[in-house]
Amino acid sequence: MTLAVALAAGALVPAPAARAAQCGKPDLVDMVPPDLAKAVPRNARLGAHYMAAAEYLGEDVVLVHPPPDKTEQALTATWDSTEQLLSVTPTDLLDAGKDYEIRWPALRGLNAAAPGLGGTARFTTALTSDSEAPSFPGVTGLSWDLVREQDDCVDDLTERFVFDIDLGEAIDDGGTDGLTLLLFQTSGPEVNGMPMPLPGRAWPGTHTQVRLIKEDAVGEICFAAIVRDTTGQISQSGDVTACVHTTDPPFFRGCSVGDAGGRPDGLAAAMALAMALVCLTRRGKR
Burial class (CB in 10 A: 0-12, 13-18, 19+), 215: exposed
Q: Kindly state whether residues 91 and 52 are assigned to the same domain.
A: yes
Per-residue model confidence as pLDDT tens digits over 218-261? 999 999 999 999 999 999 999 999 999 999 877 654 333 333 33
Q: Domain containing 41 — which CATH number? A: 2.60.40.1220
Which residues lie closer than 8 Å to 1 by C-beta, 6 or more apart?
none
Q: Give the mean pLDDT per block of 10 residues along the chain (286 residues).
A: 43 37 79 97 98 93 96 97 95 97 94 87 97 98 89 73 97 96 95 90 96 91 98 96 90 40 38 40 42
Residue 4 lies in a domain: no
Per-residue model confidence as pLDDT tens digits over 104-123? 999 998 877 789 999 999 99
Q: Kindly state whether residues 144 and 229 are assigned to the same domain.
A: yes
Q: Kindly state whether residues 185 and 231 are assigned to the same domain.
A: yes
Three-state SS sequence of 144-155: EEEEEEEECCCC
Q: Kindly state whether residues 106 and 144 are assigned to the same domain.
A: no
Q: Which domain holds residue 275?
A: 252-286
Q: Kindly state whether residues 105 and 33 are assigned to the same domain.
A: yes
Q: What per-residue confidence (pLDDT) applies to 114?
A: 83
Residue where one domain finishes, among candidates 125, 148, 175: 125
Q: Kindly state whether residues 203 and 118 are assigned to the same domain.
A: no
Q: What per-residue confidence (pLDDT) applies to 239?
A: 94
Q: Domain containing 176 — which CATH number? A: 2.60.40.10
pTM given for the model: 0.78
Residue 3 lies in a domain: no
Q: Kindly state whether residues 149 and 242 are assigned to the same domain.
A: yes
Q: Kindly state whether residues 221 and 236 are assigned to the same domain.
A: yes
Q: What per-residue confidence (pLDDT) applies to 145?
A: 94
Residue 188 lies in a domain: yes
Q: Computed over its alpha carbons, how large is the radius of gyration of the chain?
A: 22
Calpha distance 186→223 (Å, rounded): 5
Number of domains in the chain: 3
- Across 159-179, b (16+ Cβ under 10 Å) vs e yields ebbbbbbebbebebbbbbbbb
Amino acid 54 reads: A
Residue 104 lies in a domain: yes
Q: How far is CA 216 from CA 80, 138, 162, 220, in A?
A: 23, 22, 12, 10
Q: Kindly state whether residues 45 and 112 are assigned to the same domain.
A: yes
Residue 219 lies in a domain: yes
Q: Kindly state whether residues 189 and 259 are assigned to the same domain.
A: no
Q: Kindly state whether residues 178 and 262 are assigned to the same domain.
A: no
Q: What per-residue confidence (pLDDT) applies to 21?
A: 40
Which is nearest to 88 in space by CA: 102, 98, 100? Answer: 102
DSSP string covering the chain: --HHHHHHHHTTSPPPHHHH---S---EEEEESPTTEEEE-TTPPEEEEE-TTEE--S--EEEEPPTTT--EEEE-EEEETTTTEEEE--SSPPPTT-EEEEEEPPPEETTBSS----EEEEEEE-SS---S--B---EEEEEEEEEEEEETTTTEEEEEEEEEEEE---B-TT-GGG-EEEEEEEESTT--SS-EE---EE---SEEEEEEEGGGSSEEEEEEEEEE-TTS-B-S-TT-EEEEEE-PSS---------SSS---HHHHHHHHHHHHHHHHHTT--
Residue 111 lies in a domain: yes
Q: What is the largest CA-CA distance in the chain?
A: 81
Residue 151 lies in a domain: yes
